Structure 1
């Protein structure tokens, strides 16, 4: 288990039991050799999704009425931290549980919830969300993928890229334009993975998060039922995304913190064992100062994430605060892991060492969910 920098305030008997059970499940079902295989295959086997569903990891925040745990973001943070401790950032549970499932819980009809959410919980239905397009990433108000109403069906034309869970998803929430220009013309439509005409491109070759299947998706006149429009009213998609994006950014921040804490623990262990010039690396002041600095930053980061979690649980986490958390943690994470790798010397450059994987895996966190530059724009509007 990785080092947690400071005692979290989100600990009680039930949460402790949940953490212990998650830890045992992951130790049994996601040992290092399995993680290495998933990284090599560039996808996590479907069997693990179903095992996780049977265990109760999936849909942790989904209502018990649909088979979920009925938990909240505290349970999701435990999943983030325990997966982060084992280098499982590439398994798309965070996307499934914490980014896409909330759209179904918040905006699907009762009939749709009854049809979709039990599969989300069991692992039979893997979720993805398709926002990013080849022509633009964070500019969600100017999407080019379009959907037009033809009788009782939406006809979707367009292309998405960099879609996590893209190869395995059974249900995709697609951001598309159903009206005029700008944010008021954007809607969210649910597309089944077996919809006629729906095409998956190649599993994209990335520099990190190897086990995460990430794909191009194509919609050449794909038809879905009229009622698959989330919220029931066209043009509400941008508002829906803006309402749920703060949680997505908090998820990315929490995952970044977990990765930084793991890197710190790995580096502490290594520098205590590695000898140079007649003493361990940890005996050297430069090592001590570097790690003291990183531990301080991680501790501050944990306090900030805890504060954001408190706000989120009470419904008070705003877009600006979530953007600050995502910006600060992700930039601190990338810089801190790079400094940790430096202390490994040549071994840090070897892919067989977990620190090298962390170095590659961390880099996306300043990009996805809104690049750091976009976070700064959001924050700057409040100045």
Structure 2
């Protein structure tokens, strides 16, 4: 992208005027990290299916890991600051915003929200620095949209829990030090409920295998996980989580980050299209002088700005403690859907060159197909909103936040 294009996209609507100095500082730090540490290597990493693990400690040193959490070595930043960091990281690649989401919004948030003080003290400071990596195991091979039907089980055996089952599409699992695994747990009194377990990944019976053949999120890691007779001490359970409200509270943290992050990918595509429109000449003029091209650019810009303003509104609601799951669904559905549309339009402006790695558009487009699916598909969020509008659930209410 050109510097001029980035400046124009950022300033036409003057978003900075709506941010605090601290929020702008977080955004600038994340933009510098994305520009200096991710962008120079991301095309090669995507092509070679390489996750650049050495950046994890740098993300921790920058304060990005679990940055919205208070204490335990976390930055305690506001929701809007966290969203802006997600936007900037995803403007480089969805895989790196996904890393920050899995680490901070899923694994760390699960321990922070539902863990014992001992669990928090043991894991969160090391996860905040990137010394320890976490993953979050909810989705199973048969699908992710109906977690109430999970088949992974946990049973009490004396002073131990024994876990058996399988999870799929679990980000970071093969490099993680700790996994938060959700299972249908049967206690010694015969009662059953969905519970979360803190599982050190070196525990016997825990196996994580990276999924190969991906055409999306290639610079990121997603895994199949098997649990075969995994024995854990009785205090491995997250004491504050019982039922699906536990994992859903973490999923909503990750969905909120996506609302912002997808707009980062959209901005990157818009910047690429704008830069090309100003420099590529056809019939003796830059293509940006043509009405059809300007119309596309204007429509892309409008949807980008609407998406960022929606994200900002949701961030302010979150900071007030009034953000609802339905409102998050509005944001996740809109941001990813519009980011994909912007990517498609950008590719058309770039013409044939748009399918090459000379521009980031096809990479963003491919990644956004994954973002569209995880943390709730378009259809699931449509049904959440349909329930909100009609008062009638068109799905099993136990399975959707």
2:137 paired with 1:130:
yes
Match of 2:209 in 1: 201
* 2:105–2:251 Cα contact (<8 Å) kept: no
Partner of 1:244: 250
CA distance in 2, matches of 1:41, 1:75: 32
Distance 1:380 1:149, change over 3 A: same
Within 5 A, what are the aligned runs for 1:142-221?
142-179=149-186, 185-221=193-229
**Corresponding residue of 1:30:** 38
Per the alignment, residue 141 of structure 1 pairs with: 148
TM-fit CA distance, 1:218: 0.7
Q: Encode CA deviations 1:78-136: one digit per residue, 9 max, x unaligned.
A: 22122123235346122212232111111111111110011101111111111111112
Aligned to 1:224: 232
State whether residues 90 and 209 of structure 1, in contact with CA within 8 Å, keep that contact through their aligned partners in structure 2: no
Q: Distance in 1 between matches of 2:18 and 2:131?
A: 31
Structure 2 length normalisation: TM-score?
0.88
Question: What whole-Å deviation, never above 9, does each CA across 1:119-175 have from its counterpart, x for those lacking one?
Answer: 101111111111111112111111111111112221111111111112221111111
Asked whether the 8 Å contact 2:87–2:262 carries over to 1, the reply is: no
**Local SS of the residue matching 2:59:** helix
SS at match of 1:307: helix
- TM-score for both structures, normalised by structure 1: 0.92
Alignment of 1:216-295 (within 5 A): 216-231=224-239, 236-295=242-301
**Is the CA contact 1:246–1:317 (under 8 Å) kept in the aligned structure 2?**
no
Query: Where does the alignment leave 5 or more consecutive residues of structure 1 unmatched?
Result: none
Structure 1 counterpart of 2:54, from 37, 47, 54: 47
CA contact (8 A) 2:269 2:361 kept: yes
**Does residue 106 in structure 1 map to residue 113 in structure 2?**
yes
CA 247–57 in structure 1, closer or farther in 2 if over 3 Å, else same: closer
In structure 2, the CA distance between the partners of 1:255 and 1:17, relative to structure 1 (3 Å rule), is closer
Mapped to 1, the partners of 2:274 and 2:354 lie a distance apart of 14
Distance across 2 between alignment mates of 1:23 and 1:329: 20
Query: Displacement of 1:270 after TM fit?
Result: 0.8
2:105–2:250 Cα contact (<8 Å) kept: no
